[in-house]
């Protein structure tokens, strides 16, 4: 089954560092396909946060960073701020589906 698994929720206090994992398989992340991350603030459309595992689009603060290892990827947020409270999604391509695949999403709560 083609799935990207994310924790349903993570939390952290302002100023802290949090990470969100995205676990895939040999048909997606493990096959070398790019991993992208999106931030969705309440009531708004998703926004591209990280593309190609580690790259930030113009305007995205360097507090956000991505990494990849094997069949997993991670999003790290440092210096947590109240405005970071949102849903975060990873996305890749899956060769079994022959199409794009999203993770289930992770809700970040800033305590």
Partner 1 sequence: EVQLVETGGGLIQPGGSLRLSCAASGFTVSSYYMTWVRQAPGKGLECVSVIYSGGDTYYADSVKGRFTISRDNSRNTVSLQMNSLRAEDTAVYYCARGDRGLDYWGQGTLVTVSS
Shortest CB 31 distance to partner 1, Å: 17
Nearer to partner 1, 50 or 80 (CB): 50
Chain contacts with partner 1 (rule: CB under 8 A): 34, 36, 38, 40, 45-48, 50-52, 55, 57, 87, 89, 91, 98-105
Residue 49: which residues within 8 A CB-CB, separation 6 or more? 37, 38, 39, 56, 57, 60, 64, 75, 88
Nearer to partner 1, 2 or 19 (CB): 2
Shortest CB 97 distance to partner 1, Å: 8
C-alpha to C-alpha distance for 105 and 71, rounded to whole angstroms: 17
Shortest CB 55 distance to partner 1, Å: 7
Residue 107: which residues within 8 A CB-CB, separation 6 or more? 8, 9, 10, 86, 87, 88
């Amino acid at each position: 089954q083609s799935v990207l698994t994310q924790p349903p929720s993570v939390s952290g206090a302002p100023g802290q560092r949090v990470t969100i994992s995205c676990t895939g398989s040999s048909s997606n992340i493990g096959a070398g396909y790019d991993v992208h991350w999106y931030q969705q603030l309440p009531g708004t459309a998703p926004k591209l946060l990280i593309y190609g595992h580690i790259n930030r689009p113009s305007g995205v603060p360097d507090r956000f960073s991505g990494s990849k290892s094997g069949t997993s990827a991670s999003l790290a947020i440092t210096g947590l701020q109240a405005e970071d409270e949102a849903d975060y999604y990873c996305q890749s391509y899956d060769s079994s589906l022959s199409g794009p695949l999203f993770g289930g999403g992770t809700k970040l709560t800033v305590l």
